[in-house]
Amino acid sequence: MSLVRATAFASLAAVRSALADRAAFWLQAGGMVVNNGFWLLLWFLFFTGFREVGGWRLADVARLIGVVYLLFGLTTVFLGGYRDLAGAILRGDIDSLLTQPAAVLPRLLSRESMPSAWGDIFAGLVVLTFSARLDLLGAAGAVAAVVIGASVWLSTAVIFGSLAFWIADARSLARDLMDFTLMVSMYPASIYEGWTKILIFTVLPAGFIAVAPVELVRHPSVGALAVAIGAGVAFPIAASIVFGAGLKRYRRGAAP
C-alpha cells in the first residue's frame, strides 16, 4: 500500500507541476482537442460515403477512438514517464532511484505528466458520451475497455522502453514503435488481414490495446471478456519480467 500511495503522490506532484503554467496548459490541451476533432471529422466524412467498413459502422469507430483517446490521455497524464522511459534509462536517471527502497519502475512512470493529454481525456469522454451511443451496459464495457487497454498500452511502453537496457540507440526506436502502435490502434480491425493482422496482435499489440477491449462494447460475450482480461493481466506480467531482467543487467554495470 505504501508503494501505491508513494506512486500516487509522485503522480499528483507531476500533474501539479504540469498545470503550473495555466496558459501553456490550455494552449496544449486545446490544441490536442482540435487535433482530435480533425481526426473525428475525417471518419465522419468517410462514413457519409460508406455505411460500414468490414462490419464496423460510425458508432463502432467512435467507441474505438473514444477508448483510445481516454486510455492514452489517462496514462500520459498520470504515468507520463513511460513516454521517455528509454531515455531515462540511457541517461542514468535510475542511479538515484536505486538507493531508495521503493520499486524503481513506478517512480520512473509517475514522475512526468503531459498537459496536452488532458485534451485526449476530454475528447475521449465527449466521443463516448455523445457519439458512441452507449447504454448502461455499454458504458460499463467502455470503462472496462479503457482500464484493460491502458494496462496493455502502459505495459507495451515499458517493454519497448526496456530495450534501452540492451540497445544504445533504443530511445528513438521505442518512441517510433509506440507512435506506430498508437496509430494502428485507431483503425478498425477489419481492415487488417493476413500478416498485418498477426502483426497487430504480436509485435505491435494494437489489437490487445484497443480492438479486443472494444469488442466488449460492440459484442459483449464471455469469450471477448476472457481475451481482454487475459491480455490485461499477461502484458503487465511480461513488462515486469522484461524490465526486471534489464534492471538486473543495469545493476551489474552492463551498459548497452
Tell the burial category of 18 from Cβ atoms under 10 Å away from its Cβ (0-12, 13-18, 19+): buried
DSSP 103: -
d(CA 79, CA 76): 5
pLDDT at residue 121 in the model? 97
Task: Cite the beta strand spans of the chain per DSSP E.
Answer: none
How far CA 207 is from CA of 192, 211, 212, 237, in Å, comes to 10, 5, 6, 18
Cα–Cα distance list, 63 to 166, 186, 210, 232 (Å): 38, 10, 10, 19
Better pLDDT: 234 or 204 = 234
pLDDT (average), residues 210-214? 91
Q: Across the chain, what does the average pLDDT equal? A: 90
Between residues 189 and 211, which one has the greater pLDDT? Answer: 211
Please report which confidence band the pLDDT of residue 232 belongs to, taking 50, 70 and 90 as the band edges: very high
Joined together, the cell numbers standing for residue 36 give 482530435
Q: Domain residues of the chain, as ranges?
A: 2-251
pTM check: above 0.85: yes
What is the per-residue pLDDT for 217?
A: 85
| Band of residue 2 on the pLDDT scale cut at 50, 70, 90 | low
Contact status, residue 148 vs residue 231, Cβ threshold 8 Å: yes
DSSP summary character for residue 211: I
Give the lowest-confidence range in 48-52, 166-170, 212-216, 251-255. Answer: 251-255
The C-alpha atoms of residue 56 and residue 48 are separated, in whole angstroms, by 14
CA-CA distance, 174 to 211, in Å (whole number)?
Answer: 22
What is the tens place of the pLDDT at every residue in 6-56?
A: 788 889 999 999 888 889 999 999 999 999 999 989 998 999 888 888 888
Q: How far apart are CA 185 and CA 33, in angstroms?
A: 18
Residue 95 buriedness (CB in 10 A; 0-12 / 13-18 / 19+): exposed
Identify whether the C-beta of residue 100 lies closer than 8 Å to the C-beta of residue 26: no
Phi, psi of 24 (to 5 degrees): -65, -35
Model pLDDT, residue 194: 85
Q: Is 221 helix (H, G, I), strand (E, B) or coil?
A: coil
* Least confident range of 73-87, 100-114, 148-162: 100-114
- pLDDT, tens digit, for every residue of 108-147? 999 999 999 999 999 999 999 887 777 887 888 899 999 9
Greater confidence, 202 or 163?
163
Grouping H, G, I as helix, E, B as strand and the rest as coil, residue 56 is: strand
Cα separation of 178 and 123, whole Å?
Answer: 20
